[in-house]
Amino acid sequence: MGVCAQAQTDVRKELHMYPALDRYVMEQKWLDSLGEPLQKTIDGIFSSMGNSGKQLKNLLNGTWLGHPLHPVITDVPVGAWTTSMVLDTAAAMTGNEGVATAADIAVGTGIAAAVGAALTGFTDWSDTYGKERKVGLLHGLLMGSTTVLYSLSLVSRLTGNRKTGTGLSNLAAAVLTAGAYLGGDEVFDIGYGVNHTAFEHGPTKYTQVIRDSDLEEGKPVKVDAAGVPIVLVKQGSHIHALSDTCVHAGCSLAGGKVEDDTIICPCHGSQYSLVDGSVINGPATAPEPYYDTRVRNDMVEVRVGR
């Protein structure tokens, strides 16, 4: 077989790796059997805490940060555990006890940070469903197994069995790689956690969308503005306009509830200011695009907010 033909075969194999994994994950019914009650438990914990629970969930989601908090924290354990592998290798080659101790500290640092990664990760995951829930749960279980293996490794190291400790770390690194792959797959292939309005480009010039007389006080109405879905809410003499696509999971805000000068997404409860699209409550982290409005000859016109 020629080089080009072999390369084409390798590419075909690579292209079929993900579909095969996709089929495997979707066939695992136990992920739903475990995932559904686990989500209810997590939601129940936050709900039982009332407003404090809502604020805690906002904190863990990263609403205050402007994007999900989970990937920020995951960099710490992944970086620490990768560092420990390098230091373990250096210690084995040099016999330097100081380097070995540094490797142990790196393992412990990764374990401590993994707690935060788990809290933020499962908080985000609690608002998923279908394929996202399956892949996310499997990712979480693999990363949890990784943490357990590194914890056993640290115990072995501290009790003088360094050979077993480094062996467990190497095994943990392999599980970590598989878990990280699924995490990336959920974001970049499935699209969970991304801004669902990122590629919307509303009109920059005022565009007619609906008659003012057709709007009812406080009732969300979905309209089209140059191909972009927009939700309008009339309150007194002012008409608010936001992208109709919820940034969190792509649901239509027009089916949501208006509460004072905010609108609440019907899917996961993300709450946005009707005035400027800012996030009041998560799980959304990015603001909702807002539009300027005006009325001319009974026609409501909108343009990208300035």
- Encoded tokens for 112: 């401590």
Lowest mean per-residue pLDDT among 2-6, 133-137, 139-143, 163-167: 2-6
Residue 186 is given by DSSP the state I
φ, ψ of residue 287 to 5 degrees: the values are -70, 155
Which pLDDT band, with edges at 50, 70 and 90, does 19 fall under?
A: confident
230-286 confidence digits (pLDDT tens)? 999 999 989 999 999 999 989 999 999 999 999 999 999 999 999 999 999 999 999
H helices of 95-129, where?
97-125
201-220: average pLDDT = 95
Give pLDDT, residue 281: 94
φ, ψ of residue 249 to 5 degrees: the values are -135, 10
Contact between residue 242 and residue 274 where contact means Cβ atoms under 8 Å apart: yes
Distances (CA, A) of 261 to 79, 141, 276, 284: 43, 40, 10, 17
- Encoded tokens for 239: 């008409």
Q: Which domains does the chain have, with CATH numbers?
A: 3-190 (no CATH), 207-304 (2.102.10.10)
Give this prediction's pTM.
0.85
Contacts of 39 (CB under 8 A, 6+ apart): 125, 126, 128, 133
Spell out a b/e string for 15-48, using b for 16 or more CB atoms within 10 Å of the CB, else e: eeeeeeebeebeeeeebeeebeebbeebeeebee
Which pLDDT band, with edges at 50, 70 and 90, does 20 fall under?
A: confident
Spell out a b/e string for 84-110, using b for 16 or more CB atoms within 10 Å of the CB, else e: bbebbeebeeeeeeebbebbbebbbbb
Give pLDDT, residue 25: 87
Which pLDDT band, with edges at 50, 70 and 90, does 193 fall under?
A: confident
In degrees, to the nearest 5, what angle opens at C-alpha 74 toward C-alphas 68 and 77?
160
Verify cis geometry, omega within 30 degrees of 0, for the bond prior to 283: yes
Instruction: Inform me whether the pLDDT recorded for 140 exceeds 70.
Output: yes
Q: Is 140 exposed, middle or buried (0-12, 13-18, 19+ CB in 10 A)?
A: buried
193-206: average pLDDT = 92
Mean pLDDT score of the chain, rounded to an integer? 91
